[in-house]
Structure 1
Amino acid sequence: MELTYLHTFLEVAKSGSFTQTAEKLGYAQSSVTTQIQRLEESYGAVLFERFGRRMKLTHAGEVLLGYARDLIRLHGESKEAVSAQNGGSLSIGTIETMAAFFLPPHLQAFQRAYPEMNVMLQPGNEPAIIEAVRAGELDLGVILDPPFADPDFHTIAVREEPLVIVTHPDHRLAGIDEVTIGDLAGESLILTEDGCTYRAMLLGALKEAGVSCKLSYEFGNLEAIKQCVVYGLGVALLPEIVVREDASRGKLSAKRFAHPACRFYTQIIYAKRKWVSKPFRHFLELVGGASGKDDAGVEAAI
């Protein structure tokens, strides 16, 4: 039995008219009649009888009236109690770059707004994060990818993240304004781990251009990559936010990587079937910013 029927029952009891109830609730009169009939079938009793032009409660209807009021009241109270909940958990899958250089100030602001929420960060690469969100193992993912689109997901493109070629300050590439794919010929590359989307983009661009490089080192840790560059062991492709402070102190050189495939965006993804609680929505608004579409043309889901 639906609470909707009880709400209709209360309105008929109040107005004494199926017609007036239908007008007030925006139903067809036949719909009001059907709802009352289904209530009567459910309770096995006649709830209204006609006196002239008005509908009056029977004795059974009078008994139900008190219960109906309590049920509607309790339903309203339960909705308020549930919607006011500020506790619970939020599980976020993200890559090391986002966890270290993008999320911390947002997580701090979120904690201030919802101190009872337990936030869990799960590291991984983009393919693993996407599948975990799809499977419901994670509430949302924060990824660094070309514009992401999937019919099962809402996607919020937060901002474009520039990628840079990182070198020792004395390296020959440190003296140019931007690095092209051809400039990397003969260089020793220090790569991120397999599964990293911008690593895949770089290797694909090198192959397409027929540019030969030496694949010297591979790390799953950004600090290890930066330290190898500091010691002149090679060059690396990294998000600019990862090396911004090091470059400003002259520890490393960071030059924009100029390539048409090098368009990467910080994006929030979550499943369309995911229930969005108040804390969840606050996190989306906090991190995602304004709704609408950005330069990536990725639809914001807020």
Structure 2
Amino acid sequence: MDIDVKTLRTFCEVIRTGSFTGAAHRLGYSQSSVTAQMRALERQAGAPLFHRLPNGVRLTPAGSTVRGYAVQVLGLVGEMEQALRGPEAHPQRLRLGLAPALAYGEQLARISRFGRRLLPGVQLALRVMCTAEIHTALRNGDLDGAFLLTARAPRRSRTPATAGGPDPTSVAGLARARTAVLAERACGTAAQPGRPTEVLVQELEFIPSTSASTRPATPCRQVAVADPDCPSQRWLPEFLRLRAGEPPESLELGSMDGVHATVQGGLGCAMLPSGLARSPYGAGLAPLPGVPRMQWTVSLLAARSREIRDTHREGLATALRLALEHAA
């Protein structure tokens, strides 16, 4: 595929405004130019990226997948442009990892935007990494901090009881234990001076989701996951294993946008963050019958170094909190 940056920026502007007309107005292009760019992008993607509606457009599953990568590409291009301006223009740079469960939709753009407002003069280098990779990078000094779901016990959301089903908190024990081991390897014991500090951001609800076209009585045989070591992603396969007596097939996709598109396409079920499971991104989705909603704690792990200070920790935690609120 040979996709230029201009087309990706137009694509993201169409998503932000919800229409080709709105994107053209914001970018100063003609509507025909925006339409031509999006048609060319769809030809290269090999699938429609938008549902054309009477009052605008809505992303297709393929469009949701392209959106996640487009945000990352544009973020890297922005970093390159900043680096080419010369050493005198270099702001302080903080390297931050994000677990895939927190990097869905336009989250990277939101976190970057709020971060710039709250931490002027600081450049945020955001990297989407699996939980195990984040802990390794923190231990090796390759990251200044990271946003991820911690190994704290999840809370069950207020939903009807699951008759005959396993206790969801007990089911989460394996996920908590695995994440705790990763954290211990990365940070060592609390007595060690190099241990990253943890800032609790907020709780994030995850909704067990399947395609709305799937029959309610059909058991979920395939679970799509973005990060096999994330508590929110380990929970559903274990819950279904205990309920059915055998493990479901696990499909690792590496991104929540890929997981979201898989579920929308009727190819499996997943624990989706509420921002993806609800309108407008939740079109075509339905709650997985007999499985409770759950909440996990979102935390900022910040390295103890001169690069990241208390004001940085407070600003970063607030930036993520605002981004999650806008996605809800």
**TM-score tier (shorter):** 0.5 to 0.7
Q: Distance in 2 between matches of 1:274 and 1:211?
A: 51
Partner of 2:197: 154
Task: Tell me which of 85, 94, 97 is aligned to 2:98.
Answer: 94
Distance in structure 2 (CA, Å) of the matches to 1:276 and 1:234 = 41
Cα deviation, 1:78-104, whole Å, max 9, x if unaligned, reads: xxxxxxxx9311110112332335453
Q: What is the aligned counterpart of 1:137 among 134, 138, 142?
A: 142
Q: CA RMSD in A?
A: 3.4
Q: Distance in 1 between matches of 2:258 and 2:320?
A: 30
Instruction: Give the Å deviation of 1:274.
Output: 5.6
Distance 1:254 1:120 in 2: 35
Q: Does 1:164 align with 2:198?
A: no
Taking the aligned partners of 2:117 and 2:148, their CA distance within structure 1 comes to 24
Question: Aligned match of 2:237 in 184, 195, 203?
Answer: 203
Mapped to 2, the partners of 1:113 and 1:206 lie a distance apart of 42
Mapped pair 1:226 → 2:260 = yes
Whether 1:264 and 2:296 are equivalent positions in the alignment is: yes
SS of the equivalent of 2:279 reads helix
Cα–Cα, structure 1 residues 100 and 279, in superposed 2: closer, same or farther, change >3 Å?
farther
- Could you tell me whether the CA contact under 8 Å between 1:157 and 1:288 is conserved in 2? no
Q: Contact conserved, 1:189 with 1:215, CA < 8 A, in 2?
A: yes
Amino acid of the structure 2 residue aligned with 1:154: T
Greater Cα radius of gyration, structure 1 or 2: 1
Partners of 1:117 and 1:199 lie apart in 2 by 32
Segments of structure 1 that go 5 or more residues without pairing to the other structure are 1-85, 174-182, 290-302
Equivalent residues of 2:237, 2:248 under 8 A apart: no
Distance 1:222 1:110, change over 3 A: closer
Contact 1:185–1:213 (Cα < 8 Å) also in 2: no
* Contact preservation (8 Å) 1:240, 1:254: no
The answer (yes or no) to whether the contact 2:212–2:284 under 8 Å persists in 1 is yes
TM-score in terms of structure 2 length: 0.49
Matches within 5 A, 1:1-302: 87-101=91-105, 102-147=107-152, 151=190, 152-173=195-216, 185=219, 187-212=221-246, 214-215=248-249, 217-246=251-280, 250-254=283-287, 257-258=291-292, 262-272=294-304, 276-277=308-309, 280-284=312-316, 286-287=318-319
CA drift at 1:204: 3.0
SS of the equivalent of 1:164 reads strand
Question: Quick one: distance in 2 between partners of 1:110 and 1:87?
Answer: 13
The answer to whether the 8 A contact 1:184-1:211 is kept is no
Distance verdict in 2 for CA 1:216–1:109, change over 3 Å: closer
C-alpha contact (below 8 Å) 1:142/1:266 kept by paired residues:
yes
1:65 corresponding residue in structure 2: none
TM-score (norm 1): 0.53
Q: For the residues of structure 1 that align with 2:98 and 2:115, how far apart are their CA atoms? A: 17
| 1:276, distance to aligned residue in structure 2 (A) | 3.7
Segment of structure 1 superposing worse, 215-224 or 130-139: 215-224
Residues 203, 184 of structure 1: alpha-carbon distance in 2 compared, 3 angstrom cutoff: farther
Amino acid at match of 1:240: S
